[in-house]
Amino acid sequence: MQKKIDELKLKRNAAQSGGGEDKIKAQHDKGKLFARERIELLVDEGSFEEIDAFVKHRSKDFGLDKVHYPGDGVITGFAKINGKPIALFSQDFTVLGGSLSEANAEKICKIMRTAMKIGVPVIGLNDSGGARIQEGVVSLGGYADIFLLNTLASGVIPQISVILGPCAGGAVYSPAITDFVFMVKNTSYMFVTGPNVVKTVTHEDVSFEDLGGAETHASKSGVAHFVCENEVEALMEVRKLLDYLPQNFMDRPSEFAFDNTKSELIEKLNEIIPDNSNKPYDMREIINLLVDGGEFLEVHQHYAENILTGFAHIGGMSIGIVANQPAVLAGVLDINASVKGARFVRFCDAFNIPLLVLEDVPGFLPGTEQEWNGIIRHGAKLLYAFCEATVPKVTVITRKAYGGAYDVMNSKHIRGDFNFAWPSAEIAVMGPKGAVEIIFKREISSAENPEEKLNEKLSEYVEKFANPFIAAERGYIDDVIEPSETRVKLIQAFILLKNKADRNPKKKHGNIPL
């Protein structure tokens, strides 16, 4: 028996060493970690249990019969993060460039199927040169097998992709289907076709970084939800994100101990909204004062910055926040903001995370560029997402709520549970000046002093309509509250809504306006 045990140890050591010390050193020289080092940093110490460490590819063409590494370029297994079980795979670039083979794909698919059965999140650490060319269509089939499981797992368990190297061609579509994508500056790349192909086909001369680097995907394409300075930071951010998420769609996010009896008024909230309704302010100031410890994990921070999305705890409860940002484009909704908000809302609804909406929106962005690129269709995505969501939904209107954007941002009419407004709220079909110029057009133009008449009618309109009380009289607003008491009201609301039960009509699935 001892001989067999010694043989087992030798095989396990071979599997642990990846492509060998030289290739591990080459990884380090690029500023990248070895696949196993990444796992050690990500998971709770000593919790990783590997499976399929001895799997090898079965290919014989193009010299592959002479090249065999235990594990075949991907490490798979189960571990714990913050004490909770997770499943993971970590592609090993030191073994044949981390290329995807038939056996490699089978390992990833096995871990995903098991994760779905036991209801735990899947984390993919991606660092691969793409399909293993020597295996041809078998490798492509492996990608498709993974894509299918990504799709079937969507909304069942959280799926997180961490891009820690190249990710090109078909390889990009698996992360794109997952819930969150992390990228690292200067070492992560995602593109369907690389710079060389782009130059050949379109004659554009573009660098890897500009075409598909972390900052490009974080700010321009919206593919990356989080961009980090280095791999260690990325892995720590994944740990932080999991604190806000449940294990699966039947679970609820963990609650942290919090003494709700000690919640106090926050007088500073009374001072944030400017007297001039056209003057910007930073909605993050409000968020930081409302959430526990001022900790807000922002998602898509550098993309569509006119809307904010992210996670926080309020009264110890995990909450998803969607907020207009008056400091960027006056908080207007455009195509990118609508899509960003809609995706976040649907994620929260899929995984039982209550939603807080902080509203200061002057409407949808006008212009031919927006109209021709489908603002109607894309804006409808955000509307659809809020209408469809059955999780607890609470809205606070801090200032502007104009036009269709008022309806879209979780109004009472689309099943908002509690809708509050600050005294500074302006709920109207459009801004006061535009409304007055339409309603009193003849009266103003025929007046001896049109400007004086405009100001007179403007004051009249503001007093009558540009406030929250007309909406409150009809029950569209549940309460007009002082800003300082907002946090207390939110904690009470989310506690009341803990056992909320709402259902959508029975159907196969809806047809969101993609």
- At residue 379, the 3 state secondary structure works out as helix
Spell out a b/e string for 310-323, using b for 16 or more CB atoms within 10 Å of the CB, else e. Answer: bbbbbbbbbbbbbb
Instruction: Check: CB of residue 67 under 8 Å from CB of residue 61.
Output: no
Given the residues 73, 77, 97, 170, the one annotated as active site: 170
pLDDT reported for residue 121? 98
Given the residues 35, 323, 405, 425, the one annotated as active site: 405
- The type of residue at 242 is L
Q: What is the CA radius of gyration of the chain?
A: 26
Query: Is residue 491 domain-shared with residue 454, that is, in the same domain?
Result: no
Is there a domain that residue 248 lies in?
A: no
Instruction: Check: CB of residue 332 under 8 Å from CB of residue 362.
Output: yes
Given the residues 155, 222, 404, 434, the one annotated as active site: 404
Query: Is residue 99 domain-shared with residue 192, that is, in the same domain?
Result: yes
Given the residues 169, 194, 316, 374, the one annotated as active site: 169
pLDDT reported for residue 98? 79
Query: Is residue 232 domain-shared with residue 284, that is, in the same domain?
Result: no
Query: Is residue 227 domain-shared with residue 322, that is, in the same domain?
Result: no
Query: Is residue 235 domain-shared with residue 287, that is, in the same domain?
Result: no
Q: What is the phi/psi pair of residue 4, to 5°?
A: -70, -40
| Residues facing 77 on adjacent strands | 50, 88
Query: Is residue 457 domain-shared with residue 476, that is, in the same domain?
Result: no
Is there a domain that residue 336 lies in?
A: yes
Query: Is residue 184 domain-shared with residue 278, that is, in the same domain?
Result: no
Residue 31 is a catalytic residue: no
Q: Which two tokens stand for residue 11?
A: 């095989």
Distance CA 268, CA 174 (A): 45
Q: What angle do CA 168, 172, 173 make, to 5 degrees?
A: 145
pLDDT reported for residue 353? 98
Distance CA 74, CA 385 (A): 36
Residue 170 is a catalytic residue: yes
Give, for all 514 residues of the chain, the pLDDT tens digit.
877 777 777 767 766 777 788 888 989 988 899 999 999 999 999 999 999 887 776 666 655 666 666 777 899 999 999 999 999 999 988 887 778 888 899 999 999 999 999 999 999 999 987 777 666 688 788 899 999 999 999 999 999 999 999 888 878 999 999 999 999 999 999 998 888 888 899 989 999 899 999 999 999 999 999 999 999 999 999 999 999 999 999 999 989 888 776 678 899 999 999 998 889 999 999 999 999 999 999 999 999 999 999 999 999 999 999 999 999 999 999 999 999 999 999 999 999 999 999 999 999 999 999 999 999 999 999 999 999 999 999 999 999 999 899 999 999 999 999 999 999 999 988 777 777 778 878 888 777 787 777 787 777 777 777 789 989 999 999 999 999 999 999 999 999 999 999 999 999 999 999 9
Query: Is residue 219 domain-shared with residue 278, that is, in the same domain?
Result: no
Question: How many structural domains does the chain have?
Answer: 3
Query: Is residue 384 domain-shared with residue 472, that is, in the same domain?
Result: yes
Query: Is residue 96 domain-shared with residue 123, that is, in the same domain?
Result: yes
Is there a domain that residue 147 lies in?
A: yes
How many CB atoms lie under 10 A from the CB of residue 269? 20
Query: Is residue 273 domain-shared with residue 307, that is, in the same domain?
Result: yes
Question: 193, 213, 242: which is the final residue of a domain?
Answer: 242
Is there a domain that residue 202 lies in?
A: yes
Write down the pTM of the prediction: 0.94
Query: Is residue 139 domain-shared with residue 220, that is, in the same domain?
Result: yes
Residue 26 structural domain: 2-242
